Amino acid sequence: MYDIALIPGDGVGPEVVSEGKKVIMTACQEYGIRINWHEYPFGGETYLQKNILLPDSALSEIKEMDGIYFGAVGDPRVKPGILEREILLKLRFSLDQYINLRPVKLLPGVEGPLRNKTYKDIDFYFIRENTEDFYIATGATFKGRNHQLNHILKRNLFQANIEINFQLEKEEEFGYQLGLLSRKGSDRVIRYAFSLADTKGLARVSTVDKANVLSEMYGLWREVFKEIASEYPAISADCYYVDAMAMLMVSNPEKFKVIVSPNMFGDILTDLGAILQGGIGMAASANINPEGVSMFEPIHGSAPDLKNKGISNPVGTILAGAMMLDFLGEKEASSAIEAAVSSVLKEGKVRTKDLGGNNSTKEMGNSIAHILQNMNRN
């Protein structure tokens, strides 16, 4: 029996999560797995009605669970950043989910934007560091001649008391943001990338940085990458600047097997990864703490304009469900969901609007669940 926190969130979140849950429950029935779902209403509505974001009491309950299945947060009625920071990023940071694993895999039957590349060419893992870099949210906007910031940055690996002092000749208006990478924080995620490549028999790990300009922070990252690479002589390791990587992911996606990246470049490049696999609705994501509670979500946001239309693509959320079962150790059920998704896409009869069809979110979820049921019986 697994205890799973369910956070559908905002916008299309509840619609896609409901299809994901349906497919997971079908797999559970077929493979004799039991899940106890604990649903939490966090998101824009709860914030506006009750001024509640993610209370510590809920966080301590969730800390005891086996996983989190998450939709999306973000609401046009709420100032951008509040829900993202205080719910999604708070979960990632306080549960120390330092690895963000985002498979980039074009499934058969899905036409990517690169029509001459097929599903054989687009199949790699993108691993994004998930707690540091510019995401430490340390900074301010100010106007004046003097400014001081005192900020306590708490992470699982360290606590830093950060003091920043500006003294200006004349009054100015500034916004600034501090980026930070720790050696330990870089080490643990890069190590994960190499060990994933090793386990899956993938002979190449690539990294992304901007060490030619932001040489301190990303210089450290690159140094740690090279150190760990030397422990894996059988795996070839190469470094790219982020701008070049953006180009290569489009021109030569077949080059890549595992890419490991600092947080912000990873955020940007995984949207690019999503479009390579047919669209943002196709892409799944796992926020992993190998020793703690991990969280599984589609990489798309809440898409408020699509809310309640029932037309969004639930495949990313369903594949995130497969990743969750895989991490729980339910390999068979997880592979079965992936196979059911592939089979529906390959057949091509049921397609949501983004895939060029007319089917609803529900129809897509139902047909995947249906195939899953018949698969196990044969």
Active site residue 209: no
Q: Is 301 among the residues that bind ligand IPM (CB under 6 A)?
A: yes
Binders of ligand IPM in range 215-274 (CB under 6 A) = 267
- Residue 183 sits at φ, ψ, to 5 deg, of -60, -45
Q: Is 288 among the residues that bind ligand IPM (CB under 6 A)?
A: no
Containing H/E element for 172? strand 159-180
Active site residue 135: yes
Active site residue 271: yes
Pairwise CA distance, residues 193 & 140, whole Å: 33
Query: Do the beta carbons of residue 262 and residue 209 sit within 8 Å?
Result: yes
Q: Is 10 among the residues that bind ligand IPM (CB under 6 A)?
A: no
Pairwise CA distance, residues 341 & 372, whole Å: 9
Of 90 and 117, nearer to ligand IPM (C-beta) is 90
Q: How many of the chain's residues bind Mg ion (CB under 5 A)?
A: 1
CB of 267 to Mg ion, least distance (A): 4
Of 4 and 83, nearer to ligand IPM (C-beta) is 83
DSSP string, 48-65: HHH--SS-HHHHHHHHTS
Q: Is 297 among the residues that bind Mg ion (CB under 5 A)?
A: no
Annotated active-site residue in 66, 198, 271, 354: 271
Tell me the residue ranges of DSSP E strands in 303-365.
Answer: none
Of 53, 91, 299, 340, the one binding ligand IPM (CB under 6 A) is 299
Active site residue 305: no
Binders of ligand IPM in range 68-107 (CB under 6 A) = 84, 88-89
DSSP string, 84-144: IIIIIIHHHHHTT--EEEEEEEPPTT---SSTT--TTT-EEEEEEE-S-EEEEEEEEEEEE
CB of 11 to ligand IPM, least distance (A): 11
Of 30, 133, 209, 267, the one binding Mg ion (CB under 5 A) is 267
Annotated active-site residue in 69, 98, 135, 192: 135
Residue 88 binds which one of ligand IPM, Mg ion, none, with CB within 5 to 8 A depending on kind?
ligand IPM
3-state SS, 281-302, equals HHCEEEEECCCCCCEEEECCCC
Of 88 and 101, nearer to ligand IPM (C-beta) is 88
Residue 301 binds which one of Mg ion, ligand IPM, none, with CB within 5 to 8 A depending on kind?
ligand IPM
Query: Do the beta carbons of residue 312 and residue 281 sit within 8 Å?
Result: yes
Residue 197 binds which one of Mg ion, ligand IPM, none, with CB within 5 to 8 A depending on kind?
none
Contacts of 123 (CB under 8 A, 6+ apart): 104, 105, 106
Q: Which residues form the catalytic set?
A: 135, 210, 243, 267, 271
Interface residues toward ligand IPM, by CB under 6 A: 84, 88-89, 267, 299, 301
Interface residues toward Mg ion, by CB under 5 A: 267
